Amino acid sequence: MDMIIVWALSWWYGAGWKAQLKRFLERLDSSYDYFSIGLLLRSLFAPFRQISAGKVRGPINIQIRAFADRLISRFIGAFVRLILIVVGAAWLGILAIGGVIYALLWLVVPVLPLVGFIFMTAGWVPTWE
Amino acid sequence: MGVSFNYGAHRAAKARVGKFIGKTGHLLMISLAIVLAFGGIVLIVLANPVGWLVASLAAWPAMFAKWYVGELSDISAEASETAIEASLSSGVLAHLSKQPSPHDIAAAIGQTNEGAFYGARFGLTANFLLQIASNEQSDTAEIWQTAMDVKDELNLEHLSAGTLVYALVKQLPDHDALLAHNHMELDDIKRGIEWQEHIKQLIKHHSKPRRTGGVARDWSFGYTPLLSRFGQNISQQIAAGGLLSVDLESHADALDQLVDTFSTSGRQNSVLVGATGVGKTTIVHAFAERLLDASSKLPANLKFRQVVMLDSSSLISAAPGRGQLEDLIMQVFSEAYAAKNIILCLDDAQLFFEEGVGSVDLSNVLLPIIEAGRLRMILTMDDQRYLQISQRNSALVNALNRINIAPAGKAETIKVLQDKLILTEFSRKVTYTYQSVDEAYRLSERYVHDLAMPGRALKLLESAASYNENGLVTMNSVQQAIEQTMNVKVSVAAESDDREKLLNLEELIHKRMINQDRAVSVVSDALRRARAGVRNPNRPIGTFLFLGPTGVGKTELSKALADVYFGGEDRMIRLDLNEYVRSEDVTRLIADGADDPTSLTAQAMKQPFSVVLLDEIEKAHPSVLTTLLQLLDEGILRDIKNREVSFRDAIIIATSNAGAERIREYIDRGYKLDQFEEEFTNELINSGQFRPEFLNRFDEMVVFTPLEKADLLKVVDLIIAGVNKTLALQKVSVEVDEDAKKLLVEKGYDPRLGARPMRRVIQRVVENNVAKAILSGIVKPGSAITITASQVEETMGKAEKAQAIEQEAS
């Protein structure tokens, strides 16, 4: 039985903890891919959905109008992308903090009964009044 | 000293702990953790501080449950170690005793899921392994060593159950014979190990999170409402569900070529050319998947581009008018170009380049676009159609970057099948055995002509699912599928009816054939060899040259064979070679079935299991005979489209009247057949009527002897039996007196024409008298008409008189 506990604890603080970290990093990577922040940054000023993006030939007034349209399309694109970059960055931040907390909690799980025993001995319980 | 197993090693002990906990223990621990956590919280809410201890105690069962899932349920191998216990699959490891005998190893394998794979897929069940494994502990070292060798050879991570199955079977001295019973060889187990490892890799690959570019992937590219309406976005389908694709070497080359074409500055198009079923569409899917994979190394101008397959039928139905369709196509193409992330795929592109049902020739619209090379396009085309289009429109072909797709070889086809079958197994709720996959390759190669590999084998395996036995698709299921769909017999005769028929073939044939015992016997022997599975599978069932005068039963024997064995006289492909007397007639012989359904190759494609009768072979042009050489030798004939047509399930019978006079001379001089047959065939070879290499191709040259009067008496009986069969509908029968029969033979005997005039004489005498009797009401249903010698005399007399008057008049 002793050996079983030793094996369990050595896995918990060794390969088990590493596996949790790996899973956390995968989740972070997957979220990064979902928000595609790198792609958003690279294409920040690209016309949104190619609306009014094509080349226009013709008199100067039409070309000026096309330039203005393209500018608006690029502006809308940059605006939408920036919003998503902010939302994505916030989400990744929350995820990272959550991951760190989880990794730390993981380390204290085996000693939780000891913590529980101390609380019981102290006799403290939350009151609801 | 050989390798040994250390029972006390940590990994082995952990495996046993994992087995002890098992799925039930894991469930219990989770339940206990939930109960403790919930109970503790309730106590805390009730202001009882013991709740802290109770709730926190939930951490331990939760921790053990996590440990079980993370490590114990599948303990990874210790990479650097070479000891058995360090690399043995944990499922087997958990079930081993201290000093296991091969029998104990077999028992351990039988208790694992890995072992069940070999039971279901190969028929190497736990019981089978227990029966063959020895109880001697001294034999175990050899088992370990063999398994380790296989592990190293196949570069496996674990010493898996499969490697041990291989070792156990190999240790058996007569394993080859035993495996042959299961229709497999020892190396097939290695292929099974690879199959199992591949499935594990696929599962692992699919359980990994997919990175396909995220929500903003397409924001820089245009909307494509028209394309969504008239095409399928393969990339979206892949992103949504993924594909079970196979990494094939032959496909890898094509994929690299596609990437190369679209990432350089040349014309942005490719045409995949290959036979139907070769995997062109699969390559397009694999290409789309590669573009969508964020981790793949691709140029930035290709990453996340979407492949949209245009649907020609919906385009045609939406724009029925000629100008409308061209307008619509232009709009669709403009949209794809403006979107900047679309690669258009025209699957079966010939539909866009030729007029026909469901196809429209849009060459005039498409050619400038393809020549400009700015819109990215992939076309797929059947190689034959590609050639046809290239003849008509060379400019189009010159503007396309051609990529040839060759049919897959056996090993690759088997890999593709194993991957594709995962979905079929899931949807049809069946399991395919290894032997069924192997058999599907073999049989489809021979019988399925309209598709290339791997498509043809896959098609056969899918249809075999309907013939599963208790959920298992076996070799037998595949054989049944091909027998039902192609109307051929490929299995070894197992049914008692079938066996009985084969054993009594001579008797059955003689029910409609008189004399010619030797001819009947040689063809019967050939059929028995074929159906017992002892013949050469790479040749026709039998090739015979029937020699003899007309009317002695050469054609009749062929018909009898087709009827008795192949199931009907219509199972005979008959070619009168006196219609093939010019060298140009070779083209007619091997014409495409679509152009000439009566060509030899077209008929054999439709009906491979038949008698092929090549009548009057001596009259055929030498070029025709040369063409037939390969057929006789290898059972293969290539048609005009260069497709292999198999004659390996046919009996080839060539007939010839050559030397008929010489046979008659021998008979007249009182020789028996066995006394002159050899000399006669030598004379025939020396006469130069046939080239020796042609005659050598036949399994047997059979000389038919002219029929004698005694034989003709039996022929009369056969013809009368035929008449009675026809009259059975009217409930009337006819009997012929013995004297009348003899008289019929006298009247019908013609040494030059054999039995042929007999039918005319009987028709004249018997059928005429019967017809008169029925019409005059002399016979009533249930009664019999007897034909006497005087009636024969009278009828024949009248006929002769009529003939004489006719001659006089002329």
Which residue does chain A place closest to B337, by CA atoms?
A: A54
Which pLDDT belongs to residue B345?
95
Extended strands (E) in B494-610? 542-547, 572-576
Q: Is B598 or B753 the better-scoring residue by pLDDT?
A: B598
**Tens of pLDDT, residues B693-747:** 888 888 888 888 777 777 788 888 888 888 888 777 778 888 888 888 888 887 7
Residues 6 or more apart whose Cβ sits within 8 Å of residue B320 = none
Question: Among residues B398, B225, B375, which one has the least CA distance to residue B305?
Answer: B375
- Mark which residues 27-46 of A lie under 8 Å from B by CB: 27, 29-30, 33-36, 39-40, 43, 46
Q: Is the pLDDT of residue B751 over 70?
A: no
Q: Is the pLDDT of residue B755 over 80?
A: no
Which pLDDT belongs to residue B800?
67
Which residue does chain A place closest to B41, by CA atoms?
A: A125
Which pLDDT belongs to residue B809?
67
**Region B10-38: what's the mean pLDDT?**
95
Residues 6 or more apart whose Cβ sits within 8 Å of residue B531 = B489, B492, B493, B498, B502
Q: Is A7 on the interface with B (CB under 8 A)?
A: yes
Task: State the smallest CA–CA distance between residue A117 and chain B in angstroms.
Answer: 5
Contact A119 B14 (CB under 8 A): no
């006394």: which residue's tokens?
B675
Task: State the smallest CA–CA distance between residue A51 and chain B in angstroms.
Answer: 7
Which pLDDT belongs to residue B699?
85
CA dihedral in degrees (B51, B52, B54, B59; nearest 10)? 150
pLDDT band at B449 (very low <50, low <70, confident <90, very high): confident
Q: Is the pLDDT of residue A57 over 60?
A: yes
Chain A residues inside the 8 Å CB shell of B79: none
Q: Is A127 on the interface with B (CB under 8 A)?
A: yes
Chain B residues inside the 8 Å CB shell of A35: 214-216
Q: Is the pLDDT of residue B493 over 60?
A: no
Looking at the partner chain, which of B212, B214, B220 has a beta carbon nearest the beta carbon of A46?
Answer: B220
Which pLDDT belongs to residue B495?
60
Which pLDDT belongs to residue B352?
86
Q: Is A52 on the interface with B (CB under 8 A)?
A: no
Q: Is A109 on the interface with B (CB under 8 A)?
A: yes
Chain B residues inside the 8 Å CB shell of A73: none
Which pLDDT belongs to residue B162?
95
For chain B, the distance separating the N- and C-terminal CA atoms, rounded to the nearest angstrom, is 107
Residue B584, both tokens = 């140009």
Task: State the smallest CA–CA distance between residue B348 and chain A in angstroms.
Answer: 31
Which pLDDT belongs to residue B361?
83
Task: State the smallest CA–CA distance between residue A112 and chain B in angstroms.
Answer: 5
Q: Is the pLDDT of residue B445 over 90?
A: no
Q: Is the pLDDT of residue B799 over 80?
A: no
**Region B236-248: what's the mean pLDDT?**
69
Pairing of strands B342-346, B377-381: parallel
Best-predicted range by mean pLDDT among A105-114, B319-328, B723-732? Answer: A105-114
Task: State the smallest CA–CA distance between residue B261 and chain A in angstroms.
Answer: 24
Q: Is the pLDDT of residue B494 over 60?
A: no
Please answer whether residues B259 and B290 qualify as being in contact, where contact means their C-beta atoms are separated by less than 8 angstroms.
Answer: yes
The C-alpha atoms of residue B796 and residue B746 are separated, in whole angstroms, by 11
Chain A residues inside the 8 Å CB shell of B294: 33
The C-alpha atoms of residue B255 and residue B261 are separated, in whole angstroms, by 10
Which pLDDT belongs to residue A95?
96
Contact A117 B211 (CB under 8 A): no
**Region B82-103: what's the mean pLDDT?**
91
Question: Among residues B452, B462, B468, which one has the least CA distance to residue B422?
Answer: B462
Q: Is A50 on the interface with B (CB under 8 A)?
A: yes
Sign of CA dihedral B174, B177, B180, B185: positive
**Region B584-593: what's the mean pLDDT?**
89
pLDDT band at B226 (very low <50, low <70, confident <90, very high): very high
Question: Among residues B255, B279, B258, which one has the least CA distance to residue B269?
Answer: B258
**Region B157-169: what's the mean pLDDT?**
94
Chain B residues inside the 8 Å CB shell of A125: 44, 47-49, 51-52
- Which DSSP letter does residue B763 get? I
**Region B561-567: what's the mean pLDDT?**
81
Which pLDDT belongs to residue A111?
95
Q: Is the pLDDT of residue B26 over 60?
A: yes
What is the 3-state secondary structure of chain A?
CHHHHHHHHHHHHCHHHHHHHHHHHHHHHHHHHHHCHHHHHHCCCCCHHHCCCCCCCCCHHHHHHHHHHHHHHHHHHHHHHHHHHHHHHHHHHHHHHHHHHHHHHHHHHHHHHHHHHHHHHHCCCCCCC
Return the minimum-mean-pLDDT range out of B186-195, B258-267, B774-783.
B774-783
**Region A62-70: what's the mean pLDDT?**
89
Residues of B with CB under 8 A from a CB of A: 10, 13-14, 17, 40, 44-45, 47-57, 59-60, 62-64, 66-67, 70-71, 209, 211-217, 219-223, 294, 338-340
Chain B residues inside the 8 Å CB shell of A50: 220-223, 338-340
Q: Is A79 on the interface with B (CB under 8 A)?
A: no
Task: State the smallest CA–CA distance between residue B316 and chain A in angstroms.
Answer: 28
Residue B100, both tokens = 């296991």
Q: In a mutagenesis test of the B interface, which of A125, A128, A129 is the best target, namely the one with the most B β-carbons within 10 Å?
A: A125
- Which DSSP letter does residue B474 get? -
What angle do helix axes B161-171 and B113-122 make, rounded to 10 degrees? 60
Pairing of strands B611-615, B733-736: unpaired
pLDDT band at B667 (very low <50, low <70, confident <90, very high): confident
Which residue does chain B place closest to A45, by CA atoms?
A: B220
Task: State the smallest CA–CA distance between residue A118 and chain B in angstroms.
Answer: 8
ipTM for the complex? 0.89
Contact B13 A15 (CB under 8 A): no
Chain B residues inside the 8 Å CB shell of A41: none
Q: Is the pLDDT of residue B663 over 90?
A: no
Task: State what percent of residues in chain B have pLDDT above 90.
Answer: 36
Which pLDDT belongs to residue B126?
93
Q: What is the mean pLDDT of chain B?
A: 86
**Helices assigned H by DSSP within B345-494:** 363-372, 383-392, 394-398, 410-428, 434-447, 455-464, 475-486
Task: State the smallest CA–CA distance between residue B245 and chain A in angstroms.
Answer: 22
Residue B677, both tokens = 């047959």
Looking at the partner chain, which of B17, B48, B215 has a beta carbon nearest the beta carbon of A35?
Answer: B215
Residue B125, both tokens = 């069940």
Q: Is the pLDDT of residue B357 over 80?
A: no
Residues 6 or more apart whose Cβ sits within 8 Å of residue B623 = B583, B585, B586
Q: Is the pLDDT of residue B496 over 80?
A: no
Which pLDDT belongs to residue B459?
92
Which pLDDT belongs to residue B269?
92
Chain B residues inside the 8 Å CB shell of A121: 49
Contact B49 A119 (CB under 8 A): yes
Half-sphere exposure of A13 (CA within 13 A, CB side): 10
Which pLDDT belongs to residue A35?
92
The C-alpha atoms of residue B756 and residue B582 are separated, in whole angstroms, by 29
**Region B354-365: what's the mean pLDDT?**
80
Contact B339 A50 (CB under 8 A): yes
Contact A116 B40 (CB under 8 A): yes
